Structure 1
Amino acid sequence: MFHFTPELLTESGKTSYRFRCPGPGVFQCDLTGLVFVMTQVAELLYNTVQWDESLLQSAVCQLHLPHCETKDALIVDGLLSVVHITDDGMSILEPLKITDTHVVVKVPHLSAFGLIWDIVRRFQNKSRQIEAQVLLFLRPPDTGPRVLDVLLLPRNVLLDEVDDCVGSKHIRISSKCHLNIDQSYSVHCQPEGFIIQPEVNYGPNYHPTFEVFLETIPEKVTLMVQDRERTEVWRRNVSLKAEDSDPPEDRLLLVRRQFVQRVSDPVLNQLLDKLLERGVITDGEMQSVRTGRADKARDVMDTVRRKGSAASSVLISALCEVDPVLSRELRLI
């Protein structure tokens, strides 16, 4: 199996992925976990959506859909199927194979695909445990206390799809755990004394499940997720020491999506002029910038970020000078 990292495309707040397959074979996307079985050379353009139309090319003959079921749940025969939605209605596809991580189906023609559970067999498997993840996001400085968002999500939810935390700092930490659907959970923190809301919650969902209010930023906290019987399902030591001193290129990456969506074409032209004047970009790089506001914004952001901290600091300074309103909204000031 060949692993690939696709090109990211962002338009109107939606992320899609592009990859050109060099020929027949099995290809796995490192960002989404999707596996494509190809019969010929083709360009793939795809995204992950909730029952919206998927953009796939006709060379695809199989699709491997990531799931979040545990090994114990998969013992139940026929637990997972794939729903196939077209303009003519909905049909159920029986999987060719179910692995520990993916459900494999033959692709009849282009349309939307999604996983469904068999209700009867799901009822028989009363624990309803899934492979899950705990994601942490530290909100930017504001007029009030800092807030650490704790999200309980299925394993196959993509980090890029968690839109509610755009602008927050994703804290990288080992996140794997097992959660039960419809189970209530609580979050606990050491040292004690921080406000955590709500006291209990049901997961998983796409919104901040819990909020930990940090009156001060400690160097380290210990976070625990417990079920209703007070059994720990996840516990980690979380380092917060460096979260307020991110390198300039990381600050730009954090606001990349918002920058692409909101920066105007005149501002982009002024930024290019200033970057050229200050030696951050060359004449050739300026000439190679694509037309179209969104593509131009991506080229400016990515070209500068790849050059490191000094170049990224110049872009931040130039944006604050040219468009202070947008800079404040992106929390770059």
Structure 2
Amino acid sequence: MHYEKRFLCPGPGVFQCMLTKLIFTMDREGELLYKTVQWDYSLIQSAGKRPAGPLFDIKCSEEAVSKLHLQHCEKNPALLSDVLSVVHITDNGMSFLEPLEITDTHVVVDVSHLSAWGLVWDIKRFFSPDPKPICGQVLMFYRPTYKGQRPKLNVFLLAENVPVQEVKEQQENVEYIDVPSSCDLIEGQTYSLLCSEVYKVQPPHARFNLKYGPNYHKTFEIRLTPSTDDVTVTVQDQEKKQVWEYDVELPGKEVSSSATSSSAVSSQSAAFLQSPAIGGSYPRTRNLQSTPTKSLPGDEKTKLLSVRKKFIERVSDPILKTLMDALLQYRVINSGEIDSIKGLSRADKARELIDMDW
């Protein structure tokens, strides 16, 4: 299931969703509703294109959004600008738009009206004699001993612009392990995974294929011995060249409350996650770090307080952890404030977080 995100933009500015990395240039106040939807691969292929990112169904009040920024996964986008474009799919058909701009991370396009939007590659990108790598990511999920089976590490090789939350939503009885995930991957190449301290790795080799849902399947499964506390995981390409390595410290052996289901962030919590981007500054990390923290305008404080009771009652511990990590990353709160909250009950954590002096 793909959960709809909701965000009320208070006025003109540039706003980024922390879950999907979508960026919206707003000309005026408007409520955004958006979610990922399934690509019609046959429709895209008939036009000589391939998906280059998730497909988003976006709704907003008319003429509130002027530009849409879609995250790409190209390492050298300037060299491949002729094969990247944006598809706009409506009930009346499909059209392809040339980007206004391609930055290091996003493709920017003018928006007239909203429906389904996504990035596509021209098929010729994949027939080059010199295959170009993309920015990829390695995602890990730990499954403790379950129904008598050995504990396992499930490893995913994906494009960098696959939203992590979309993958989490499909995992059950596992715990997400936050590791440095960036690596370079090449479509069609074969990769192997090394992990000498474990019982078995399956399969021995796997082909990397660029897919954007609806289902995300693990690339490798590492079967662990019950006594294993940490492992070194290495991903190699078909020439035995290392593309990623990390010493993974495994979580506790019992399934925690956050491991029983990787539930999605509710639309209300997703909007709260976006609060640090309010104010019109371009929402990239380097710019957010230079802007004053705790700077919500008065009307935004009022909006937060209006949902305070429901937030405290309904927000879960996993969502609170995700929220605190995001706010710390964007320097909205500091590590001392995080430490003062961690030992509290779920409701008290929520209460302290929403009552902070923004």
Give distance in 1, aligned partners of 2:244 and 2:258.
31
Q: How far is the alpha carbon of 1:56 from its aligned partner?
A: 1.9
Q: Which amino acid aligns with 2:73?
A: C
Distance 1:67 1:165 in 2: 25
Distance in 1, Cα, partners of 2:343 & 2:112 = 49
Partner residue, 2:92: 88
Corresponding residue for 2:37? 49
CA-based RMSD: 3.0
Note the C-alpha offset of 1:174. 0.5
SS state of the match for residue 16, structure 2? strand
Percent identity over the alignment is: 42
Is 1:176–2:194 an aligned residue pair?
A: no
In 1, are the aligned partners of 2:35 and 2:56 still within 8 Å (CA)?
A: no
Q: Tell me what 1:74 maps to.
A: 78
Change (3 A) 1:68 1:213: same
The equivalent of 1:30 in structure 2 is: 18
Residue matched to 1:15: 3
**AA of the residue aligned to 1:244:** K
The letter of the residue matching 1:38 is M
Q: How does 1:264-279 map to 2 (within 5 A)?
A: none
- Which amino acid counterpart does residue 226 of structure 1 have in structure 2? Q
Opposite residue 20 of structure 1, the aligned amino acid is: L
In structure 2, distance between residues paired with 1:305 and 1:63? 27
Aligned twin of 1:281: none
Equivalent position amino acid for 2:181 in 1:
S
Contact 1:54/1:111, CA 8 A, preserved across alignment: yes
- Segments of structure 1 that go 5 or more residues without pairing to the other structure are 1-12, 261-287, 291-297, 314-333
Which deviates the most, 136-145 or 116-125?
A: 116-125
Gap change, CA 1:253 and 1:61, over 3 Å in 2: farther
Aligned equivalent of 2:253, options 239, 244, 251 = 244
Q: Say whether 1:123 aligns with 2:127.
A: yes
Point out which structure has higher relative CO (alpha carbons under 8 A, 6+ apart). 2
Q: What residue number does 1:187 align with? A: 193
- For the pair 1:109 / 2:113, whether they are aligned, the reply is yes
Q: Of 261, 265, 269, which residue of structure 2 is paired with 1:255?
A: 261
SS at match of 1:74: helix
The CA deviation at 1:218 is 1.7
Which secondary structure state, in structure 1, belongs to the residue aligned with residue 127 of structure 2?
helix
> Aligned partners of 1:132 and 1:303: how far apart in 2?
29
Asked whether the equivalents of residues 131 and 176 of structure 1 are also in contact (C-alpha less than 8 Å), the reply is yes
The alpha-carbon deviation at position 305 of structure 1 amounts to 8.2
Distance (Å, rounded) in 1 between the aligned partners of 2:318 and 2:246 = 35
Aligned-partner Cα distance in 1 for 2:56–2:16: 21
* 2:205 equivalent in structure 1: 200
Verify: 1:216 aligned to 2:234, yes or no.
Answer: no
Give the whole-Å Cα distance in 2 for the aligned partners of 1:96 and 1:227. 35
Using the TM superposition, give the Cα deviation of residue 252 of structure 1 relative to its aligned residue in structure 2, in angstroms.
4.2
**Structure 1: which amino acid aligns with 2:200?**
I
Where does residue 297 of structure 2 map in the other structure? none
Distance 1:305 1:35, change over 3 A: closer
What is the distance in 2 between the residues matched to 1:232 and 1:304?
Answer: 33
Q: Hey, what's the Cα distance between the residues in 2 that align with 1:123 and 1:201? A: 21
Deviations 1:270-317 (A, max 9, x none): xxxxxxxxxxxxxxxxxx559xxxxxxx9445389869778569xxxx
Q: Deviations over 1:209-230 (max 9, x none)?
A: 0000012242221000011111
For 1:167 and 1:226, locate their aligned partners in 2 and report how far apart those are by CA, in whole Å: 28
CA contact (8 A) 2:136 2:185 kept: yes
TM-score by length of 1: 0.70
Structure with the greater alpha carbon radius of gyration: 1
CA contact (8 A) 1:164 1:208 kept: no
SS in 1 for 2:58: coil
Do the aligned residues in 2 keep the contact of 1:76 with 1:125 (CA within 8 Å)? no
Are 2:138 and 1:138 equivalent residues in the alignment?
no
Give the CA deviation at 1:61: 1.2
> How many Å separate the matches in 2 of 1:235 and 1:135?
12
- Taking the aligned partners of 1:139 and 1:167, their CA distance within structure 2 comes to 6
| Corresponding residue number in structure 2 for 1:9 | none
Local SS of the residue matching 1:116: strand
Alpha-carbon distance in 2 for matches of 1:304, 1:122: 39
Change (3 A) 1:252 1:152: closer
